[in-house]
């Protein structure tokens, strides 16, 4: 499928003469070399190459081609039983019109439209249609069901929204997906953005499962402020397990593991206050209320300091679940300093469990990283991570990263 | 009309309708790229209107899903698609927290060895795991969760 898709998008590019008239080529190559011990005790050393780029018609800027993918080869050991692996993340031709924010993407595309948050091999189109209305539609073959080859798999859907710029937007969306020609997902969504006042911003969504005929989730987020620098946020969500996890393909989310009758209600709030231009204090609280499993509270706060060439943070959080197994404290401190071309980062994370896991109560992870910018286009980073956790008495992981940015124009 | 014919025809009809709209469209599209993206990700440092709500504040990791689902094109003004793909992938082998150890202020998930912690997070709120691992990006999960 990947090969066919690449041939199709390159063909579309080839038959578009304006695209070749004058091109801008931008992109990034990211190379990672990682050394670590796998959970089975084997040493693994994967080498990854991530490549993403975009060709754009320089003159009109209407037509472009976008590509991203990665490939891995192991210098030592295997990952998931394979010496090599690769993935095409996206590859699509995009046509964007200068009016009405009209856009058409064809190929392997990302779709984020209301209830849909998908990667598909197909077509995505959207446009404004006047009166504050906008419409989007997509159709093709979903990637998430391609484990058995994608035969008989299909997905389509869309979103219609109406709004007033800067004030509100209400959208309704729909998604229908089949796996091996069998009904897999049919979801409907309502999404909302309402800027009640200049200092009150509400965003949210409710999703409905048309297969189980019940709500999957409600999820709303309110931001208030800043009021003399003080900012407050509030979050409320409700998830109905039987309807939300109905289309899970991984056993951890299936009803052999989860209780389909469980319903979770989450309410939370956070306060953010910048003491000055560099130092900000944040306090968070979240309550998890289960229909069957009781309650849990997560609360804590952090201090974040940031100036042009230095940043640091300190956070202390506590999770209080119903049982000792769901109780822990999470403490983190980090600092980063930047010099002319060099930067250094240290990051320490401690998780202290109330109940031992594999005989371990306190889990430590310490990270040190050093970066160096050769120029505006090339940068290297090396990091070393040391940890003690329930799986390893002493875990050492290292990674080297090299990033190179392309920026080439043919005219 | 059988289902496979409907599946073929629906996207064609939708594409034709869009072609009609596009041909008749009038108002100017927003700029495809931000004219000048400075070092700050705080939109409010320049914009005082609704765009200030797009500022990447400390809670942005929790609320960016709403913005993306409603205004994907606005994200694209500053971010290439690869920025989303770095974390949101059908198949990914490197954790975001491993890719970005040099940006500790970003609240990347799964720091350190996440194996022990995932058992707790999965009990507290499995719905937070599901969007990334429920139907995709879970080859490693399936080693144990068969």
* Inter-chain touch B94–A34, beta carbons under 8 Å: yes
Chain A residues closer than 8 Å to B132 by CB: none
Higher pLDDT, A47 or A23: A47
The yes-or-no verdict on residue B26 having pLDDT over 80 is no
**Mean pLDDT for the stretch of residues A4-27:** 63
CA dist B36 and B14 (Å) reads: 36
pLDDT in the model for residue B57: 87
- Please list every residue in chain B whose beta carbon sits closer than 8 Å to the beta carbon of residue A221: 62-63, 66
Contact B113 A363 (CB under 8 A): yes
- On chain A, the residues whose CB falls within 8 A of the CB of B10 are 139, 156
On chain B, the residues whose CB falls within 8 A of the CB of A48 are 93-94
State how far the Cα of B40 lies from the Cα of B29, in Å rounded to an integer.
25
Distance (Å) of CA A210 to CA A75, A76, A290:
48, 48, 24
pLDDT band at residue A411 under the 50/70/90 scheme: very low
Q: If pLDDT is split at 50, 70 and 90, which confidence band does B13 have? A: low
Predicted confidence (pLDDT) at residue A16 exceeds the cutoff of 70? no
| Inter-chain CB proximity B102 and A345 less than 8 Å | yes
Flag if A125 and B90 touch (Cβ within 8 Å).
no
Cα–Cα nearest to A344, from A353, A355, A335, A357: A335
**Angle, vertex CA A33, rays to CA A32 and CA A38, nearest 5:** 120
- What is the rounded distance in angstroms from the CA atom of residue B134 to the CA atom of residue B124? 16
Contact B67 A203 (CB under 8 A): yes
With 50 as the cut, is the pLDDT of residue A83 above it? yes
What pTM was estimated for this model as a whole? 0.90
A196-210, A281-295, A396-410: segment of lowest average pLDDT? A396-410
Q: What is the ipTM of this complex?
A: 0.89
Confidence (pLDDT) at A1: 47
pLDDT at A401 over 90: yes
Chain B residues lying within 8 Å of A193, measured CB to CB: 66, 70
Where along chain A do its domains lie? 225-322, 329-353+362-411
Nearest residue of chain B to residue A322 (CA atoms): B124
Assess contact for A233 and A224: CB atoms under 8 A: yes
pLDDT of residue A149 exceeding 80, the answer is no
Contacts of residue B74, Cβ cutoff 8 Å, sequence gap at least 6:
B30, B54, B67
Tell me the chain B residues in contact with residue A382 when contact means C-beta distances shorter than 8 Å.
Answer: none
What is the phi-psi region of residue A114: left when phi exceeds 0, alpha when psi lies from -120 to 50, beta otherwise?
left
Residue A278 has pLDDT above 70, yes or no: yes
Q: What is the percent of chain A where pLDDT is above 70?
A: 94
Give how far Cα A307 sits from Cα of A54, A200, A278, B40, B47, Å.
33, 28, 6, 11, 21
Residue-level pLDDT at B22:
58
> Residue A377 carries which DSSP code?
S
Give the model's pLDDT for residue A215.
98
Measured CA to CA, the distance from residue B111 to residue A333 in angstroms comes to 13
Integer angstrom CA distances of residue B71 from A100, A111, A116, A161 = 14, 11, 13, 11
Is A403 a residue whose pLDDT tops 50?
A: yes
Tell me what percent of the residues of chain A surpass a pLDDT of 90. Answer: 81
Chains A, B: CB contacts within 8 A come to 292
> Per-residue confidence at A12, pLDDT binned at 50, 70, 90?
low
Task: Choose among A93, A75, A76: nearest CA to A13.
Answer: A93
Q: Which residue of B has its CA nearest to A266?
A: B125
Q: Which of A7-16, A196-205, A314-323 has the lowest mean pLDDT?
A: A7-16
Residue B113 C-alpha, separation from nearest chain A C-alpha, in angstroms: 7
Q: Which residues pair with A135 in a beta bridge?
A: A127, A160
pLDDT at A121 over 80: yes
Distance CA A255, CA A262 (A): 10
* CB contact (8 A) between residue B127 and residue A223: no
What gap in Å lies between CA A277 and CA A307, rounded to an integer?
Answer: 8
Determine the distance in angstroms separating the CA of B11 from the nearest CA of chain A, rounded to an integer.
6
Count of C-beta atoms within a 10 Å radius of residue A85 = 19
Q: Is B85 on the interface with A (CB under 8 A)?
A: yes
Q: What is the mean pLDDT of residues A363-382?
A: 96
pLDDT of residue A130: 87
Whether the predicted pLDDT of A8 surpasses 80: no
B17 or A171: whose pLDDT is higher? A171
* pLDDT the model gives residue B24: 62
For residue B70, give the nearest of A54, A171, A353 by CB distance: A171
Least confident of A371-385, B6-20, B21-35: B6-20
Q: How confident is the model at residue A6 (pLDDT cuts 50, 70, 90)?
A: low
Q: Which of A214-218, B23-27, B51-55 has the lowest mean pLDDT?
A: B23-27
pLDDT at residue A386 tops 60: yes
* Residues A370, A59: Cα–Cα separation, whole Å: 40
Contact A247 B134 (CB under 8 A): yes
CA atoms within 13 A on the CB side of A181: 7
Kindly report the number of other CB atoms within 10 A of residue A104's CB atom. 20
* Model confidence at A18: pLDDT above 80: no
Q: Which secondary structure element, helix H or strand E, spans residue A155, and what is its range?
A: strand A154-164
Q: Do A100 and B29 touch (CB under 8 A)?
A: yes
Closest residue in chain A to residue B33, using alpha carbons only: A61
Beta carbons within 8 Å of A291's beta carbon, 6+ residues apart:
A261, A262, A263, A264
Helix axes B115-124, B126-133, angle to 10 degrees: 110
Q: Does residue B18 carry a pLDDT above 80?
A: no
The answer to whether B25 contacts A96, with C-beta atoms less than 8 Å apart, is no
In which band, very low, low, confident or very high, does the pLDDT at B1 lie, cut at 50, 70 and 90?
very low
**Whole-number Å distance between alpha carbons of A401 and B3:** 48
Q: What is the mean pLDDT of chain A?
A: 92
Task: Identify the CA nearest to A410 among candidates A33, A139, A163, A59.
Answer: A59
């Amino acid at each position: 499928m990947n090969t066919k898709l690449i041939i199709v998008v390159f063909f579309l590019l080839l038959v578009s003469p304006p695209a070749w008239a004058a091109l801008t080529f931008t992109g990034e190559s990211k190379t990672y070399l990682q050394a670590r011990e796998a959970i089975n005790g084997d040493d693994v050393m994967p080498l990854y190459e991530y490549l993403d780029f975009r060709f754009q018609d320089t003159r009109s800027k209407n037509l472009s081609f976008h590509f991203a993918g990665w490939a891995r080869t192991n210098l030592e050991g295997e990952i998931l039983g394979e010496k090599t692996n690769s993935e095409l993340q996206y590859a699509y031709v995009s046509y964007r019109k200068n009016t009405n924010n009209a856009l058409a993407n064809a190929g392997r595309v990302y779709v984020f439209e209301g209830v849909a948050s998908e990667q598909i091999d197909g077509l995505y189109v959207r446009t404004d249609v006047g009166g504050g209305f906008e419409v989007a539609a997509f159709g093709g073959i979903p990637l998430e069901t391609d484990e058995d080859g994608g035969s008989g798999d299909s997905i389509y859907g869309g979103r219609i929204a109406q709004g007033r710029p800067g004030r509100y937007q209400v959208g309704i969306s729909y998604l229908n997906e089949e796996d091996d020609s069998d009904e897999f997902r049919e979801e409907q969504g309502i999404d909302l953005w309402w800027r009640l006042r200049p200092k009150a911003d509400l965003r949210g969504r409710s999703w409905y499962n048309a297969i189980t005929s019940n709500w999957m989730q409600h999820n709303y987020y309110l931001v208030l402020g800043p009021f003399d620098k003080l900012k407050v946020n509030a979050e409320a969500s409700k998830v109905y397990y039987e309807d939300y996890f109905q289309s899970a393909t991984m056993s951890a989310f299936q009803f052999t593991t989860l209780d389909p009758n469980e319903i979770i209600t989450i309410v939370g709030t956070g306060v953010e206050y910048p003491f000055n231009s560099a130092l900000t204090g944040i306090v968070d609280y979240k309550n998890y209320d289960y229909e069957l499993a009781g309650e849990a509270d997560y609360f804590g706060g952090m201090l974040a300091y940031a100036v042009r060439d230095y940043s640091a943070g300190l956070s202390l959080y506590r999770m209080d679940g119903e049982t000792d197994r769901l109780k822990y404290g999470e403490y983190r401190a980090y600092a980063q300093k930047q010099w002319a071309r060099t930067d250094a980062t240290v990051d320490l994370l401690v998780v202290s469990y109330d109940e031992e896991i594999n005989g371990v109560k306190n889990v430590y992870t310490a990270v040190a990283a050093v970066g160096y910018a050769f120029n505006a286009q090339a940068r290297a980073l090396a990091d070393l991570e040391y940890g003690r956790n329930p799986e390893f008495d002493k875990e050492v992981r290292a990674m080297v990263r090299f990033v190179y940015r392309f920026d080439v124009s043919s005219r | 009309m059988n289902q496979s014919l409907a599946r073929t025809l629906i996207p064609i009809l939708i594409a034709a309708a869009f072609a009609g709209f596009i041909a008749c469209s009038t108002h100017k599209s927003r700029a495809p790229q931000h004219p000048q993206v400075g070092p700050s990700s705080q939109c409010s440092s320049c914009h005082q209107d609704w765009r200030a709500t797009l500022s990447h504040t400390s809670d942005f990791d929790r609320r960016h899903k709403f913005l993306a689902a409603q205004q994907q094109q606005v994200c694209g003004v500053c971010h290439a698609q690869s920025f989303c793909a770095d974390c949101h992938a059908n198949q990914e082998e490197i954790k975001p927290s491993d890719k970005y150890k040099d940006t500790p202020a970003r609240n990347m998930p799964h720091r350190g060895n996440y194996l022990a912690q995932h058992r707790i997070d999965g009990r507290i709120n499995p719905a937070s795991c599901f969007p990334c691992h429920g139907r995709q990006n879970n080859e490693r999960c399936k080693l144990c969760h068969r």
